[in-house]
């Protein structure tokens, strides 16, 4: 696999965010378990999680306007739960919209083509630049995309370009010209509690030596006002606001539809992320449902965590295939695919690839987009050679990447 830079830059995956806009009325007797066992729905209330039969839990979710389903992006069991939940909700509310964190808004026409049946799976993934923009294993998400296509459920792209979020982290929101904001309004400010959560993520990913940064101590006011941290916070708020605005816009277009959004659980915990921004946009009827991993800490199950949980078991997954790695970071260029960076000691470096090269063809296949380049490299068998044609300045060079045999 190519080591493609995702340009996320601000480590969204470690945010520990948001809770609920509308509470689901608890029904049923006291839970027989302190936590949420696998295969069981539970509603959260002050006395603890209250187990609920699946049909009744789904019926309560289906009565809302927005259901936000969380996930850990690389957890297959989370995606299986999302698929079954979406199918159950669709049976109750056939007029449905599915909205996704995984796609930037500019690929909306491609999502429309997919739902209309005009694209193959491979064309869909290539044209949405799945590998470059999202990068997680597409096989985890394809069953959900296939369900949407089969039932002709509209798919909505909620996100903005990663480069916008990264730019906010570097320069601050005020420095971004209005024309470059992709229509995003000023986010609602973060609470003091949310800032403390974000500071833990900031320590993990932004400070040069987080181990010595007093991680166990709560952040001081000086810590929270540091310019670099404030830019980090602004970037996260812009990300949340963008998705909340996308959801709110769809609600205005079709108030009768049930909108189900698929995002990382980090956006949906404790009431700090997307639900917080939706409240600021006066959206109502919003509930959060999260997968609850087997063995999770029971004291964390408080009503502010979410509205509903579903217990998922820890299942051993088959090892990921050992995919070839060329060792480059790539992006779209004017005349082909631009090599942004070459990993030291990689196959690409040994082949003579340099940062600044433009990849024109691989094994005779035109490098029309990053997805094509990734697909060609992944098809390369161990012990084989891959011809690569590149442009370097005014020269066109023919290079050969030699993939070592499997150990």
Tokens representing 24 are 């689901």
- Tell me the Ramachandran region of residue 198: left when phi exceeds 0, alpha when psi lies from -120 to 50, beta otherwise: alpha
Report the pLDDT value the prediction gives residue 219, as an integer from 0 to 100: 85
pLDDT tens for 218-272 read: 888 888 889 999 999 999 999 999 999 999 999 999 999 999 999 999 899 888 8
- Tell me if 132 sits within 8 A of 164, measured CB to CB: no
Closest C-alpha among 73, 65, 50, 34 to residue 291? 73
Domains of the chain: 12-164+227-312 (3.40.50.11550), 328-402 (2.30.42.10)
For residue 200 the two structure tokens come to: 């833990």
- Say yes or no to pLDDT of 280 above 90: yes
Q: Is 69 helix (H, G, I), strand (E, B) or coil?
A: strand
DSSP for residue 233: H
**Sequence-distant (≥ 6) Cβ neighbours of residue 368 within 8 angstroms:** none
Q: β-pairing, 358-362 with 328-332?
A: unpaired
User: pTM here?
Assistant: 0.75
Distance between CA atoms of 230 and 239, rounded to whole angstroms?
A: 14
Per-residue confidence (pLDDT) for residue 325, from 0 to 100: 84
Residue 235 backbone dihedrals phi, psi, to 5 degrees: -65, -45
| Cα–Cα distance measured from residue 189 to residue 129, given in angstroms and rounded to the nearest whole number | 32
pLDDT in tens, 287-302: 999 999 887 777 677 7
Looking at the predicted structure, is the pLDDT value of residue 17 above 50? no
State the CB neighbour count (10 A cutoff) for residue 397: 15
According to DSSP, the residues that pair with 339 across neighbouring strands are 330
Residue 43 token pair? 């509603």
Please state at what angle helix 192-205 crosses helix 227-253, rounded to 10 degrees. 120
pLDDT in tens, 20-74: 333 333 334 334 444 888 999 999 888 778 899 999 999 999 999 999 999 999 9
Confidence of residue 205 (pLDDT cuts 50, 70, 90): low
The whole-angstrom separation of Cα 361 and Cα 358 is 9
Which pair of tokens denotes residue 73?
A: 């992006």
Residue 26 CA from chain centroid, whole number: 30
Q: Which two tokens stand for residue 257?
A: 């539809």
CB contact at 8 A, 355 and 370? no
Cα Rg of the chain, angstroms: 23
In which order are the strands placed within the sheet that holds 96-104? Answer: 48-52, 41-45, 308-312, 286-293, 66-69, 258-262, 96-104, 155-159
Residue 255: how many other CB atoms lie within 10 Å: 9
Q: How do residues 76-135 score in pLDDT, each as one tens digit?
A: 999 999 999 999 999 999 999 999 999 999 999 999 999 999 999 989 998 998 987 888
What average pLDDT does the chain have? 85
| 254 contacts: CB under 8 Å, gap ≥ 6 | 95, 97
The pLDDT of residue 15 is above 50:
no
Residue 144 in this model has a pLDDT that exceeds 90: yes
């Amino acid at each position: 696999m190519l080591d493609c830079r995702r340009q996320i830059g601000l480590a969204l995956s470690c945010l520990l965010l948001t809770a609920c806009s509308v509470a689901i009325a608890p029904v049923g007797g006291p839970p027989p378990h302190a936590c949420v066992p696998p295969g069981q729905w539970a509603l959260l209330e002050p006395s603890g999680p209250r187990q609920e039969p699946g049909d009744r839990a789904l019926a309560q979710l289906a009565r809302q306007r927005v259901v936000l389903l969380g996930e850990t992006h690389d957890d297959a069991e989370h995606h299986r739960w999302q698929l079954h939940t979406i199918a159950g909700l669709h049976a109750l509310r056939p007029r449905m919209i599915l909205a996704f964190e995984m796609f930037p808004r500019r690929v909306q026409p491609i999502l429309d083509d997919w739902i209309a049946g005009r694209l193959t799976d491979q064309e869909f993934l290539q044209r949405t630049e799945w590998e470059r923009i999202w990068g997680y294993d597409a096989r985890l998400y394809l069953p959900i995309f296939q369900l949407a296509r089969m039932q002709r459920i509209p798919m909505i792209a909620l996100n903005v370009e990663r480069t916008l979020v990264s730019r906010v982290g570097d320069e601050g929101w005020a420095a971004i010209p209005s024309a470059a904001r992709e229509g995003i309004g000023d986010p609602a400010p973060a609470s003091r509690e949310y800032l403390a959560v974000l500071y833990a993520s900031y320590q993990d990913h932004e400070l040069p030596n987080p181990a010595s940064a007093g991680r166990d101590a709560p952040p001081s006011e000086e810590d929270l006002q540091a310019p670099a941290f404030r830019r980090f916070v602004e970037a996260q708020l812009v990300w949340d606001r963008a998705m909340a605005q996308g959801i709110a816009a769809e609600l205005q277009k079709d108030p009768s539809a049930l909108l189900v959004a698929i995002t990382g659980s980090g956006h949906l915990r404790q009431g700090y992320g997307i639900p917080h921004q939706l409240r600021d946009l006066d959206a109502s009827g919003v509930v959060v449902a999260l997968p609850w991993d087997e063995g999770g800490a029971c004291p964390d199950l408080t009503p502010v965590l979410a509205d509903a949980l579903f217990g998922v078991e820890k299942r051993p997954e088959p090892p990921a295939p050992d995919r070839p790695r060329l060792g480059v970071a790539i992006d779209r260029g004017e005349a082909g695919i631009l090599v942004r960076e070459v990993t030291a000691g990689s196959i690409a470096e040994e082949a003579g690839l340099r940062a600044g090269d433009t990849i024109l063809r691989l094994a005779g296949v035109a490098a029309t987009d990053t997805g094509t380049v990734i697909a060609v490299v992944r098809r390369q068998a161990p012990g084989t050679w891959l011809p690569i044609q590149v442009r370097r300045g005014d020269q066109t060079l023919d290079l050969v990447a030699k993939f070592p045999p499997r150990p």
